[in-house]
Homo-oligomer: A and B are copies of this chain.
Amino acid sequence: MFTSEKEYLKHYNIHDYDVPLVSVDIAIFTLLDGKLHILLVERGDFPQKGRWSLPGGFINQQQDKDLHATALRKLTEKTGVKTPHLEQVATIGNTKRDPRGWSVTVLYMGLIPYAPTADFIETVADARWWPYEVAIKQNLAFDHIELVTQARERLRVKSGYTVLPVYVLNAPFTLTQLQQAFEELLGTEIEKKSFRRRIQAADLLEEVGEGLPEGGRGRIAALYRPRKGSEQHAFIRAFGGSEED
């Protein structure tokens, strides 16, 4: 049919093809009053207008150089928050998830220290932090309940062998605060000595002075902030004892 690559590309037109919708959705978590929260937006337009959903949207071929850029842009436009950690979780694509037809979404998971959402937000009626347990009982748009639980699961598992939970805290923080963040994100308690031993042996934090302890009373606590690159450290042994299945 075509005789050269150049010839082929000249005649290529994506609209000759039957392409699915592609979107990016972002599950952003934080810790507020010691509890896991997730950021949801109320949809301002059809479809599913008025329902709560994950922030997200379509790729802008002019503005976005890659998928990660799309995720960051959508997050800023819709919520005004900036995340220090954003990772891809999975891509879900099927015929049923969107009434408009075959639809593919790339799901991201992000973590951030608590920050209020911006006053001005585009194309959404509202952007709000929800306690996780409350959020999953809402009637979310599309298949977002599954996306939310999938992102939550990634967060839980990865909190067991990395120091991801540092990203829901504002530095500097005490080891007790960090342990509480781990426990909330893991959904289980950690033995204090085990926790401190692991964190300190890994040398992923640097001490930056001392400060008030957790409850305002008691012995002065050492304050820490994450070292550069601590994000990608993986322990060979996971917290929690019971094996994953």
Contact = CB atoms under 8 A, between A and B. Distances in A.
B106 A91 contact: yes
Contact of A21 (B8, B14, B93): B14
Interface of A: 2, 4-5, 7-9, 12, 14-15, 17-22, 46-49, 58-61, 65-67, 70, 88, 90-95, 99-102, 104, 106, 232-238, 240-245
Nearest to A157: B234
B236 A8 contact: no
- Tell me how many chains of this kind the complex includes: 2
B238 A237 contact: yes
Given A9-B47, A46-B5, A101 B61 contact: yes
A212 B147 CA distance: 49
Contact of A88 (B17, B90, B94): B90
Contacts of A19: 14, 19-22, 58-59
Contacts of A232: 245
Contact of A233 (B65, B235, B243): B243
B243 A235 contact: yes
Top 6 closest pairs, chain A to chain B, by CB: A8-B46, A66-B94, A234-B244, A67-B93, A91-B91, A236-B238
B102 A61 contact: yes
A244 B236 CA distance: 7
A242 B237 CA distance: 11
Given A15-B15, A93-B67, A22 B59 contact: no
